[in-house]
Amino acid sequence: MTNKEKFLTLVSKEETKTVARAKDRLAKKSYRKLSNLIAFEILEQLDELNWSQKKLAEKMNVSPQQVNKWVKGNENFTIVTLAHLGEVLGIEIIQVPNRNEVKIKATVELPHATFEYKMPESIKRISPTITRRRIV
- Is the confidence at residue 117, as pLDDT, over 70? no
Cα dihedral 82/88/90/95 (nearest 10):
10
Per the CB < 8 A criterion, the answer to whether 59 and 89 are in contact is: no
Residue, of 112 and 90, whose pLDDT is higher: 90
Identify the residue with better confidence: 39 or 95.
39
pLDDT at 90: 94
At 26-60, the pLDDT tens digits run 877 878 888 889 999 999 999 999 999 999 999 99
| CATH tag for 20-89 (out of 1.20.140.10, 1.10.260.40, 3.90.226.10, 3.10.28.10) | 1.10.260.40
Distances (CA, A) of 135 to 14, 59, 128, 130, 132: 85, 94, 21, 16, 9
At residue 123, the pLDDT reads: 64
**Structure-model confidence comparison of residues 75 and 100, the more confident one:** 75
* CB distance 55 to 67 below 8 Å: no
Mean pLDDT, the chain, as a whole number? 82
